[in-house]
Structure 1
Amino acid sequence: MNFTPKNYKTIPNKPGIYQFSDETKSLLYVGKAKDLQKRVSSYFKKSSTLLPKTKLMVSQIKTIKTIIVESEIEALLLEAELVNSKQPKYNHQLKDDKSFSFIHFTKEEFPRIYAERMNQILKSERKVSFGPFLSSKIVRLTLDEIRKVFPYRSCNTNRFNKHKVCLYYHLHLCQAPCEDKINFVDYQKEINYLKSFLQRKTKTLALNLKREMQKHSETESFEKAAQIRDQIERLEYLTTKFRLPQEYLQAPNLLEDLRTQVLINLQKVLKLKTLPTRIECYDISNFQGKQATGSMVVFTNAEADKKEYRRFKIKFKDTPDDYFMLYEMLKRRFSRLNDKSHWKLPDLIVIDGGEGQLSKAISIQRLLKLQVPIISLAKKEEEIYMENQPNLLEVSKVNFHKIKLSKKSKELQLLQQIRDEAHRFAITYHRKLREMKLKKEFDL
């Protein structure tokens, strides 16, 4: 997304990368932020105490480009990629060489792995290096994650020659070659796997691990096969948790595209007529019918749209009756469609529960003559319940079918997130009302 110094306040409050360019479109500076809006705003505040070099840079800014990412570590990786490839003028003026770091593998029989700054590269023993990274923080984050998948030695030669295992072995973060608990061939294999990960050859790496696991299973080395299975699972978690910088560079709107794809897939799975860009979920919270509250949460384009959230204080029922409470909430919610409050019609309604809850919701839907698809999500098995063929004429007859999605499915994860958010929002309001009532009684 592109902005200017005049409209920087419209930059979203999300993690990502910002790039400053001058009037000739030359890149001045690349930075990362947990909150892009706050970080970029800090450059343009009149009261800001900027250094002379930074003030000069700000005076040259004509355009601001942002790339939204999913996490801080992705912002760190993308920042490193852009600075290394584009060499922005002010990144090198505001940082000296010693701030750049590398990941090193020593050329010993059992290589140790460690981080080192740029100004130390020509010192000490021969090594294989990966980098540079802009900060030691990204090196620590990367190594901490990798070590959980591929344990490695990090001790110096003196410590290694004592031939005594250290704490890292007991934490399963080192395989203790110092005490011959792993042989040379197996250790080198693990190191090569680790290098493949740093070289971003993750698909080939996963394939090799699966082949090795299969080989051990066939020879009935089940303990070793189980260890490799755990490695594969951790590797899958690691590679789905973080995205490569190149993905964002090739597709600056990557997150938006990914969310849209999830909605497209959800539309196919549920056989919806329209893309579910607006999904609403409702939940009831009460204690034996008292201080009953209802919540409505809204996800627009697969993101929580908190300005659209609504709370309902149940007015006409003070005994446990979730059906009546849900009816009251839905009736009040959908009575707002034609007034001036501009409450939009959802593309999909999600209810927490199984067949019973969905049956109640559909009967309410028919009484209110709503033509909005409704599904329910049961917590125990995380199964989706949906009506077979909606027929508004047969009010009393409802038939269902179940949809079982993989727990790794992004579509299921989105529905779970929406359901859990509705529960959180409802119970928070319910607790607030209970506390207010108790306080009032106590004051009396």
Structure 2
Amino acid sequence: MTEKELRKKAMALPLNPGVYIMKNKDKKIIYIGKAKALKNRVSSYFGSHSNHSLKVIRMVENVDDFDYILCDTEFEALVLECSLIKQHMPKYNILLKDDKGYNYIKITKEEFPKISEAKQILDDNAEYIGPFISNFSVKNAVEETLRIFKLPQCNKKFPKDYGKSRPCLNGFMGICSAPCAGRISKEDYISSINDAVAFLKGGASKSVEEMKRRMYEYSENTEFEKAAKMRDRIRAIQNLDEKQKVVSINVPEEDVFALTSSNKKSCFEVLRFKQGRLTDSEHWIIDSVDNAEDARSELIERYYSMRSDIPGRIALDGSVTDEELLKEFLESLRGKKVEIIHPQKGEHLAIVNMCIKNANEHLAQNQGRLGKEMAALEELGELLALPKPPEYIESYDISHTFGADNVAGMVVFHNARPMKKAYKKFAIKSFDGQNDVGSMNEVLRRRFKHYYEDDSESTFKILPDLILLDGGQPQVNAVLPVIREMNISVPVFGMVKDNKHRTRAIAFDGGEIEINSHRAAFTLVSNIQEEVHRFAITYHHKKHQKSSFSSSLLKIDGIGEKKAKILMKHFKTITAIKEAGVEELSKVSGISKKDAENINNFYTQK
């Protein structure tokens, strides 16, 4: 449907609460939303886009039709919306990937056992404690246990590496017993492991009681060194307890949420408290949100659709859309009252600020990792006057040997990084001989034929933000008519090399843009050009080698293309065919004894 037709259909909707389901031309659900009045909400998508975000505009561009389900109340619409989103995971809804699984603490069975985290139980004769839902609590428990009992955190294997090297920093700091330097006997090491396992299984209070008993016993027996070791462990556990009290609240259970944003990304952070102590922490990096109130509400709905344990109190770093509706939804899931608070002072505000700080830290780490790449994309987008930075770039190069074995390579860069699963190879079919322009024309036509005809799982269904061709204006001019003819709206540019085969400029329909002075964009385009050239020429070499092999077989009396293919399929290489005797060759289906003799004679005479 056209946007005009979609608006007409939307204007005919009733003013009732309900859920609307947006679909693309392949009838795939791409967005699900709820509305207090369906007509008003759905019709707002079609018409003027002046108040819409870029994400909404993109979604609307892909809408071909929509369905709707009427509900009696807005609450009923919210419950249905959450259920449908969980079922269909539409592309344009805010989605949280639920990577929660069971977590275990693993104790290996070896001469010097090791304690570590594990995601699953393996058949490796190790002991496993668990399962635990929270990876956060397992990670903390293992780290603190290793510190308290001064057990190694490295990957060294004992007794193989026992006493063979100087201790690492942990050994110098006294937080590892340093078996690598031979500072602890095997007996004492096993004793520490046993105490550590008892601590993990029995908890701090039970372990401290046992340690105190042993400390007094060692002291009475004048084993003061062992008594001091017990004393240090008790202090370490007490220090851990004090550290945990710093991150605590005077409530039995509470979840704390924060949402922070930068220009490109947002971070949704959750801190979970049980019995007044921090027991879990989760975060998600998502696309930058347009409206924080809407996003908070939607994210919290998504979060508790994945989690069954809902606390009695939820603290937020800002307001949410339809708070009473959200509260009603959470209470229906919990079966009890839920309080939503917006702390302004005291310990709750301190915890919210800590949640915000963690979210900002995770966002900074993400931006730091991707910062250079995003800066390069922004610079390239500005240089080429694109409407937005090109996150998904396709690049093409032609390779041949004097017009023989013509091939093309297509590489993809997603967020400025190679996306190798989307790389494609093309053998040129429409002609023989050297014609880079004609080859590029054929390849782009075939590529966008796949876009229209492939199933939804194909990476060909992803429309790029930018196409870069290896070559200048002739290649660009060859491709632009194909793009227009196939009704594809993607900017196309060429990558021009200097006489030393280095990237010099970017060609477009009408001229060239010098790129050398734009350092980030220059580096990115150079990397793309080198990668597409490498990929295309590697494919060409393989094809040329294979055709060379086949052509040598075709020189043998009685061996045509069909028999050459049979031989290559059976023996894989020409070397294997050369080394095969007449008897072995004649056993191949379709190869007669006469053929085998001819093959053998041909290669033995060479």
TM-score bin, normalised by smaller chain: 0.3 to 0.5
TM-score using structure 2 length:
0.35
TM-score using structure 1 length:
0.46
